Amino acid sequence: MPAIPFEELRGLIAELDAAQADAAALVQGLDAAGGAWRREPGTWSIAECLDHLATANRVYLRVMQPAADRARERGKLRRGPALPGTLGRLFIKWMEPPVRPRMRGKSPRLIRPRQQPPLENAYADFLQQQDQVRAFITAYADIDLAGVTFPNPFISGLRWSLATGLHVITSHERRHLWQAWNVRRALEGAVG
């Protein structure tokens, strides 16, 4: 990928790289049964956490892409850093781990994980979506990411800036990788 001249976008790429390294460590040494293990019924497995992240990233990029393309067509070039606005920053802060019990919410149906996806498939899909997010950042680094909005696919009537969407993706990844690590530690305690 070509070098990105903007510090905050390089920071987002670094966050994606860190999430990918974290996911690699998470699945290292896990077999299919370990990837499907749940602490209790109704909770997510490690494979389901990864599947959820891949699905969420796919859905976000699907609605962000047309807005980015329109911005490119209209010549809406970068006017400042790709940083989230006030509401976006508050939402991102809410997403960050550790997740307190009262801060948990039910995932929208659109991005709920598949029932017991194979760990190998969920992890591969996660990696593919990481590449897609990096490609989006690289392709649209020169447009006004902070000034161009897209419809939030989960909250009707709410629009995020493309910059907010990208920062939500990385904070959402940290949230669910933290959740998956909690599952891994519980699994190791159950078998250890």
The model carries a pTM of 0.93
- pLDDT averages per 10-residue partition of the chain, 192 residues: 87 98 98 95 94 96 97 96 94 89 68 87 98 98 97 91 97 97 94 68
* Residue 105, pLDDT score: 66
For the domain spanning 7-191, the CATH number is: 1.20.120.450
- Domain limits of the chain? 7-191
The pLDDT of residue 104 is 64
Which pLDDT score, from 0 to 100, does residue 146 have? Answer: 97
Q: What is the three-state SS of the chain?
A: CCCCCCHHHHHHHHHHHHHHHHHHHHHCCCCHHHHHCCCCCCCCCHHHHHHHHHHHHHHHHHHHHHHHHHHHHCCCECCCCCCCCHHHHHHHHHHCCCCCHHHCCCCCHHHCCCCCCCHHHHHHHHHHHHHHHHHHHHHCCCECCCCCEEECCCCCCCEEEHHHHHHHHHHHHHHHHHHHHHHHHHHHHHHC
Q: What is the pLDDT of residue 111?
A: 79
